[in-house]
């Protein structure tokens, strides 16, 4: 019988990754598919792995050709595909088990031309995180939409997070060009040609970011790569000019931000004989981009553009090296204009040193001399919420004469807060009085909660004759802790716009305790008495577990208990996350058509249970709502201890039978390599816990260090150690020259 879905998987030199990719396809909940494996002349052992997989699963078959590149290999796969629907997978990536079930289902329901979904980037060093280019297009569920209605899809440049109707594909005769970056011209055409498009917010694709930098997108500074990037961009610009001028701003802005920046950055490593042709490529693209879009760019981006336009290769090299050396990390220092003292100039390379660009380009607009703020720590005392943050005006050095004012703001009201100044590292790494500690009294919060649902913190900085005002930004704050103020739960949150705000919750449902009793996970809490027939549901990607509750009536809030058999939670289904091999279950209390998240008000650390090599953990979301995570029984950290003089760091966690704890190290990957340097830890084991102790001086031996905690079992693949979300809420922690923080749930030690 003809399969409903054809999956085209070209491969070349992916021996290390292709097995995991094909395994993720075998685990799909949608089973009516064929996989066309296109061997593009791969010289390594990839073909042997593909043949072994095909021998075990008749849905997989191999097509062989001489090496022609990814685009032609995909075209070959399409010729052999027989399905009603068509999709593509890169052979080093992973597919969540429910991906094709969800996309085929929505196409069956809507008859759209194609369906796409969100994507995650992943590797061992930084874990799993949102893909930048898919954030705008797939932020929420949109069925039967179109790129003209939802322009964020105009920068959805990858072909692989989508399922296409085959009749649609054939109608418009799509062909991938024989270049790198072959996706974007095809994808943009498909979005324009489509009758409608279905957009799913759930991740349907996991996009590998190799530590080695071997993939096409990570070899982006090589000349041949740059050449194909420009050709692809020109094809995209032609499509926009002819077919979709209303998308001009969106596409031109994206190409200027990503592709043009990449071209300029390649000057930092270009060989002498490549400089002239590289300059010609940059000019080809820059002259196609809309000057009005480029005028919106930062001062540094405009300098890059003008240096290209004027053909100043030396300035381009200096700008590229400046960026590569971290010159943009804090924003370059500014100085007063020599003739217009009320203006400031950015001290970027080329200022008044004979470059071909006008010195007027170095004048910083008011918008770039803005206030920069960040939270460093947040804690509750008996009488206040204590915030430790930093504030400065970008590009200007903060001095003892500078002023920092902080206020709590809600609605049209604000209340000034006390400020204690501190000397801290500023965004340039200099010790300056940019730090501050402020206290928001509980009495003030209690009065605000009577009339408002949320509040935020404003910061005003006066320095060098300038005054700038903004909101306190979240910085590295990931899992802030809330507390009761009277009968209102005050929850600090990292807002979607990057700022910190306080949410005042009169909880409908809350969790007060969680524990394991025998073979059951017992959840205790409170819920509003007005709920008539509450039922707890533990939702995951393609379903939910229904859990009855026991309820004890009171006046306004009732007590409840939910008992969940562990065998309903552990190992029942394949994991949703194909990289971390875990499933997140989100508890919601349903009452008729209404549903409520469960605020955690009674836990300060996770609760875990291990059965059969899998673990269920009671966890928290960034907003302090309850999550349950089902994951492998691997090395897991839930506590850190540093001695007072910051010479030793100890990380510890629960110990599971059958898990290898013999080698736990801090690992730093070498540039452009999958190989790393390990700093071994002293391992201590008892019946219930593991402990890894490391001397910090052994790690602080350079300026640009990034160590991640790894476990390396004797049998199996090394993996980054995941940290308990309640532990993450107690980070970052500064340890002398180093700072301990979590990135995507992985512990990192970095230079402060």
pLDDT at 209: 87
pLDDT at 706: 85
pLDDT at 429: 85
The tokens 């910085």 sit on which residue? Answer: 475
Question: The pTM is what?
Answer: 0.92
Task: Decide the pairing of beta strands 60-65 and 33-40.
Answer: parallel
What are the two backbone dihedrals, phi and then psi, of residue 362, each rounded to the nearest 5 degrees?
-85, -10
Write out pLDDT tens, residues 571-600.
Answer: 766 789 999 999 999 999 999 999 999 999
Distance (Å) of CA 406 to CA 373, 420, 470, 672: 11, 10, 10, 44
Regions of the chain short of the pLDDT cut 70:
210-221, 572-573, 644, 646, 671-673, 701-704
Burial class (CB in 10 A: 0-12, 13-18, 19+), 420: exposed
Distance (Å) of CA 445 to CA 29, 319, 399: 49, 48, 32
pLDDT at 218: 42
* Domain boundaries along the sequence of the chain: 5-110+154-194, 223-368, 371-505, 509-632, 636-751
pLDDT at 205: 98
pLDDT at 644: 66
pLDDT at 462: 96
Tell me the three state secondary structure of residue 255.
helix
Report the candidate in 610, 609, 621 with the shortest Cα–Cα distance to residue 584: 621
pLDDT at 352: 81
Distance CA 45, CA 16 (A): 9
- Identify the CATH assignment for 5-110+154-194 out of 3.40.50.970, 3.90.550.10, 2.70.180.20, 2.30.40.10: 3.90.550.10
| Residue 349 CB neighbours (<10 A) | 21
pLDDT at 101: 96
CATH, domain range 371-505 = 2.60.40
Q: Kindly report the CATH class assigned to 636-751.
A: mainly beta
Write out pLDDT tens, residues 13-41.
Answer: 999 999 999 999 999 999 999 999 999 99
Sequence length of the chain is: 752
What are the two backbone dihedrals, phi and then psi, of residue 623, each rounded to the nearest 5 degrees?
-85, 10
What's domain 509-632's architecture?
A: Sandwich (2.60)
pLDDT at 258: 93
Same fold across 371-505 and 636-751: yes
pLDDT at 673: 67
């Amino acid at each position: 019988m003809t399969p409903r879905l054809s999956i085209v998987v070209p491969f070349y030199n992916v021996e290390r990754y292709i097995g995991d990719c094909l395994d993720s396809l075998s685990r799909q909940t949608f089973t009516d598919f064929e996989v066309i494996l296109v061997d593009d002349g791969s010289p390594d052992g990839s073909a042997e792995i593909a043949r072994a997989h095909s021998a075990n699963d008749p849905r997989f078959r191999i097509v062989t050709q001489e090496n022609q590149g990814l685009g032609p290999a995909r075209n070959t796969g399409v010729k052999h595909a027989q399905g009603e629907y068509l999709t593509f997978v890169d052979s080093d990536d992973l597919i969540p088990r429910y991906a094709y079930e969800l996309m085929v289902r929505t196409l069956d329901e809507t008859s759209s031309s194609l369906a796409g979904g969100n994507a995650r980037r992943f590797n061992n060093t930084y874990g799993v995180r949102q893909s930048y280019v898919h954030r705008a297009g797939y932020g929420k569920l949109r069925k039967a939409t179109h790129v003209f209605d939802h322009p964020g899809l105009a920068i959805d440049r990858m072909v692989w997070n989508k399922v296409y109707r085959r009749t649609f594909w054939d109608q418009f005769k799509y062909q991938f060009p024989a270049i790198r970056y072959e996706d974007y011209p095809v994808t943009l055409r498909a979005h324009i040609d489509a009758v409608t498009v279905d957009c799913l917010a759930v991740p349907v694709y996991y996009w590998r970011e190799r530590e080695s930098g071997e993939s096409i997108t990570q070899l982006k500074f090589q000349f041949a790569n740059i050449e194909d990037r420009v050709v692809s961009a020109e094809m995209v610009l032609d499509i926009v000019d002819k077919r979709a001028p209303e998308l001009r701003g969106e596409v031109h802005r994206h190409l200027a931000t990503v592709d043009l920046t990449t071209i300029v950055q390649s000057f930092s490593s270009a060989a002498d004989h490549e400089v002239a042709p590289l300059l010609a490529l940059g000019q080809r693209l820059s002259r196609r981009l809309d000057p009005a879009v480029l005028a919106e760019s930062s001062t540094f981006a405009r300098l890059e553009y003008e240096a290209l336009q004027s053909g100043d290769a030396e300035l381009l090299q200096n700008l590229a090296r400046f960026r590569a050396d971290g010159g943009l990390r804090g924003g370059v220092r500014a100085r007063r204009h020599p003739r217009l003292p009320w203006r400031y100039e950015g001290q970027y390379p080329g200022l008044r040193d004979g470059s071909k660009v006008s010195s007027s380009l170095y004048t910083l607009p008011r918008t770039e001399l803005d206030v920069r703020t960040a939270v460093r720590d947040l804690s509750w005392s008996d009488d206040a919420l204590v915030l430790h943050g930093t504030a400065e005006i970008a590009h200007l050095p903060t001095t003892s004469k500078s002023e920092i004012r902080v206020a709590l703001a809600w609605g049209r009201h604000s209340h000034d807060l006390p400020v204690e100044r501190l000397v801290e590292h500023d965004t340039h790494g200099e010790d300056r009085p940019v730090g501050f500690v402020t206290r928001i009294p509980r009495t003030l919060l209690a009065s605000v909660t009577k009339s408002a649902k949320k509040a935020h913190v404003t910061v005003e900085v006066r320095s060098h004759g300038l005054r700038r005002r903004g909101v306190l930004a979240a910085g590295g704050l990931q899992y802030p802790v809330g507390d009761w103020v009277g009968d209102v739960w005050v929850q600090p949150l990292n807002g979607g716009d990057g700022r910190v705000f306080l949410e005042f919750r009169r909880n409908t449902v809350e969790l007060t305790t969680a524990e394991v009793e025998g073979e059951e996970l017992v959840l205790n809490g409170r819920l509003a008495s007005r709920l008539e027939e509450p039922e707890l549901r533990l939702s995951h990607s393609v379903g939910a577990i229904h859990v009855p509750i026991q309820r004890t009536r009171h006046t306004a809030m009732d007590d409840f208990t939910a008992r969940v058999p562990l065998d309903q939670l552990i190992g029942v289904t394949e994991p949703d996350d194909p990289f971390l091999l875990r499933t997140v279950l989100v508890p919601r209390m349903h009452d008729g058509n209404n549903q409520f998240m469960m605020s955690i008000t009674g836990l300060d650390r996770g609760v875990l249970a291990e059965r059969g090599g899998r673990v269920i953990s009671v966890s928290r979301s960034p907003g302090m709502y309850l999550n349950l995570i089902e994951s492998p029984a691997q090395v897991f950290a839930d506590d850190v201890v540093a001695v007072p003089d910051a010479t030793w760091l100890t990380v510890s966690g629960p110990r599971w039978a059958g898990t290898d704890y013999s080698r736990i190290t801090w690992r730093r990957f070498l540039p452009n390599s999958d190989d790393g340097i390990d700093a071994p830890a002293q391992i201590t084991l008892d019946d219930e816990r593991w402990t890894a102790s490391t001397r910090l001086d052994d790690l602080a031996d350079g300026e640009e260090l990034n160590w991640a905690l790894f476990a390396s079992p004797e049998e199996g693949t090394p993996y980054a150690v995941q940290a308990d979300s309640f532990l993450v809420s107690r980070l970052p922690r500064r340890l002398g020259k180093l700072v301990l923080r979590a990135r995507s749930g992985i512990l990192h030690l970095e230079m402060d």
